[in-house]
Structure 1
Amino acid sequence: MRTAIDDSLRSRRRTIETAALVSRSIGLIYTIVYVAGVGSWAPPHISSGMQVVCWLGIAAMSTANVLAWFGRRRPQSRWYSPFSAVQIALDTLTIVAFVVVSTRETSQATWPLLGLTITIAAIRHRLLGAVLVYLVTTVAFAVMAPESARHDIAFVAGIDLMLAVITGTQSTAFSRQLLTLQETRQALHHQAHHDALTGLPNRSQLAEYAASRSGQPMAVLLLDLNGFKQVNDHHGHAAGDQLLHEVGVRLRGALGAGGLADDLSDDGRGDLAGRLGGDEFLVLLPDADADRAAQVAGRIREAIRRPIRIAGDREVTVGVSIGVALRPAGADTTLDTLTAEADGEMYQEKRARNLAA
């Protein structure tokens, strides 16, 4: 069954989490070096408040890295978005605490780090995320910054607002482009594997599905409509197209499917109905024996012989000839061979019907 996200989105999420792991690990190293007082840029004496902030930051970054590792391993998980939001919260808390305390206790200008949280939020949650984090960081800096830094608040707020708008809108535009590409890709995939008239799987998808069941028991039903040519001749090709579409709907119903699925299976058992072309259809019944194939064939005959409404209030009735071929477990019989066998059986049934008529 197809997952909720496609390969392109899965790859993007893994890239985001990889970047988060690497950049946050760099932050961890710098924080450890800072709290240890190593290097000329670290103060010789670190206050107890700064030590608490640094160690809490180390814990928060380590926790966020665990979530990033999970997100990289399971980008399709339903927990991905919540864990991503938690990472943003942890990163924001860490950086805001560090900037506020360092501004209070040192002369270093650490406020540019606030822009880092905004950029991270933009990458993960687009414009909305960037704006929310901008508001949080700006309010926090304005409320908790020392009196000596009050004159910088307007400047910091303006710079960070521009950063939020630029990164947020670009990330939103990229996400929309990615969504459009996903939809286009899904549409092309559907077109390549489904019959445009009936919406049923086409020959290519039938072959792909049969190949995935190689060596397993399977029944193949080949269907050919009786009376379809007369409908085309008397009512026109548009009516014939309507009839074929309705036959596709009834085939899915006969297999127990409530509607058209995007995956290869039309029901819980894995039965699949497809159109070969013209008025020929093929039904694949994995793990089916002769009795079950006969039961399904009976349901199909009953479904198709019911009157079909075409253009206007006109109704037509068609029948169906069905040939059945069986593959036992362990056999390597191909779909082409099974279809040929079913075609022979179907021809015999159609010939007997014509003789009887």
Structure 2
Amino acid sequence: MIGRGAVPVVDDSMRSRRRTVEAAGLASRSLGLLLTAVYMSGVTDLAPLVLSDDMATVCRLVLGLMSGANVLAVLAARNPCSRRYPLWSALQVLLDTVTIVAFVAVSERDFTQTTWPLLGLSISIAAVRHQFLGALLTFVATSAAFVLLVPDSPDTAFVLGTSAMTAIIAGSQSTAFARQLTTLQETRRALQHQATHDGLTGLPNRAHLDEYASRLTGGALGVLLLDLNGFKQVNDTYGHAAGDRLLHEVAVRVTEAGGPGVTAGRLGGDEFLILLPGAGAGAVAAACERIRDAIRRPADLGDGIVVTVGVSIGVALRPAGGEAGLDALTAEADAAMYREKQARRAA
């Protein structure tokens, strides 16, 4: 319908991508939790023989932060279309960054291990989730933390340079991918709209109406079949361009006059089909009068062309619990519309 319907914020491809990101986060943090537990146990060569008090504290902090991030990942994976998803994602980046910075700062300060390359991991995580801006902000945060917490490191310049390159490469690539995904989503929505809507008026086509009606099985349904009176004369007198403008104007008027919950579609030519779910005889009769009055109003087609046309309406009603499908109801409405036209010509 014209001016109705909202494009979903998250489509199937975006939903799948978000769930994949959350699954990867869960898997990597679960591995991190295992490695941290092994690191704390001292049973392998992964850690020094004796952990400093600060490192023991950091390890416990890491276990808590990664567990909390995993809880957020589960929420995000289960609700990838939620309005809160960006918040859950940002919080995970924050927790991951604090985890990595704390571990790197203490290990670089207290031991001979080289752990600063892990800072690039936090930048990459931010890039995947929040493109270039996320990578840039995380680079600034991790770099500032490294300079402040490991002031005597001889590798500071190298750390900052490597982190900057990671942010630029990962951030730009993630942003480019996000733009490509957005373009593909827009193209798919446009193609879907073209397949289900009339190109001239923007109203749903027969395929869309069939799909919509199939969801109303068993409920009361009113069907109106409209055929314009005088449309051929407009085409013959003023040309097809004027006729097209008239059809578009009629589509707008029919949609507005139908009222809330009504779906208007174009079958082709100057025929329109109106579906009124849940409507009884009284509501259908009232809708018919509104539509007749709306279409009868003079239509300004531009270039000084003002025309007035009428409409013949055929009605079919399905009571609640009825089994008639849209094809049968349309045929019934078509027969009623034909009888109205014949009566009009005979008058």
Q: What band does the TM-score fall into relative to the shorter chain?
A: over 0.9
Q: Is the 8 A contact 1:242 1:310 kept in 2?
A: yes
Once residues 92 and 127 of structure 1 are traced to their aligned partners in structure 2, the CA distance between those partners, rounded to angstroms, is 16
CA contact 1:3–1:76 (8 Å) conserved in 2: no
Task: State whether residues 104 and 146 of structure 1, in contact with CA within 8 Å, keep that contact through their aligned partners in structure 2.
Answer: no
Tell me what 1:182 maps to: 185
1-10 or 329-338, which moves further after superposition? 1-10
Tell whether 2:216 aligns with 1:213.
Answer: yes
AA in 1 matched with 2:180: Q
Contact between 1:103 and 1:110, CA under 8 Å: does it hold in 2?
Answer: yes
Q: Secondary structure at the match of 2:302?
A: coil
Report the alpha carbon displacement of residue 132 of structure 1 after superposing the two structures with TM.
0.8
Aligned length: 342
Alignment of 1:168 onto 2:171? yes
Say which is worse superposed, 36-45 or 50-59, in terms of deviation.
Answer: 36-45
Residue 344 of structure 1 aligns with an amino acid whose one-letter code is: A
Match of 1:25 among 25, 30, 34: 30
Alignment of 1:339-350 (within 5 A): 339-350=330-341
| TM-score (normalised: structure 2) | 0.97
> How far did residue 352 of structure 1 move?
0.6
| In structure 2, distance between residues paired with 1:3 and 1:127 | 25
Instruction: State the 1:277 CA deviation.
Output: 0.2
Following superposition, the deviation at residue 255 of structure 1 comes to 2.1
How far residue 146 of structure 1 moved from its aligned partner, in angstroms, is 4.7
Distance 1:38 1:320 in 2: 87
| 1:260 alignment counterpart | none
Q: Secondary structure at the match of 2:49?
A: coil
Question: Which of 284, 288, 294 is 1:293 aligned to?
Answer: 284
Question: The residue matched to 1:310 in structure 2 has which SS?
Answer: strand
**Aligned equivalents of 1:93, 1:38: Cα separation in 2:** 26
Q: Distance in 1 between matches of 2:22 and 2:43?
A: 29
Please list the CA deviations of residues 311-335 of structure 1 after superposition, one character each: whole Å capped at 9, or x if unmatched: 3122100000001001112222111
Q: One-letter code of the match for 1:27?
A: G
Detail structure 1 runs of 4+ shifted over 4 Å in the superposition. Answer: none
Does residue 1:136 correspond to 2:127, yes or no? no
Partner of 2:3 in structure 1? none
CA contact (8 A) 1:308 1:316 kept: yes
Which residue of structure 2 aligns with residue 223 of structure 1? 226
Counterpart CA distance in 2 for 1:89 and 1:38 is 31
Distance, in Å, in 1 between the alignment partners of 2:38 and 2:258 is 66
Distance 2:8 2:241 in 1: 37
Does residue 47 (structure 1) correspond to residue 52 (structure 2)? The answer is yes
Contact 1:130 1:167 in 2 (8 A): yes
Distance in 1 between residues matched to 2:150 and 2:29, nearest whole Å? 25
1:264 aligned residue: none
Indicate the larger mover: 115-124 or 330-339: 330-339
SS of aligned partner of 2:201: coil
Deviations 1:172-230 (A, max 9, x none): 00000000000001100111111011110011100110111112110100000000011
Identity across matched positions, percent: 59
Residues 1:11 and 2:21 aligned together: no
Q: Is the 8 A contact 1:17 1:68 kept in 2?
A: yes
Deviations 1:217-269 (A, max 9, x none): 1010000000001101111111100100000000111123xxxxxxxxxx4x3
Alignment of 1:243-254 (within 5 A): 243-254=246-257
Paired residues for 1:180-329 under 5 Å? 180-256=183-259, 267=260, 269=261, 271-329=262-320
| Alignment check: 8 A CA contact 1:103 1:146 kept | no
Instruction: Report SS of the residue matched to 1:124.
Output: helix
How large is the RMSD of aligned CA atoms in angstroms? 1.0
Q: Does 1:95 align with 2:100?
A: yes
SS at match of 1:3: coil
**Aligned counterpart in structure 2 of residue 78 of structure 1, from 83, 98, 107:** 83
Taking the aligned partners of 2:102 and 2:10, their CA distance within structure 1 comes to: 36
Superposed displacement of residue 139, structure 1: 1.1
1:62 and 1:173 map into 2 onto residues whose CA distance is 31
Paired AA for residue 263 in structure 2 = L
Q: CA deviation at 1:142?
A: 1.0
Which structure 1 residue ranges, 5 or more long, are not aligned?
257-266
Q: Secondary structure at the match of 2:275?
A: strand
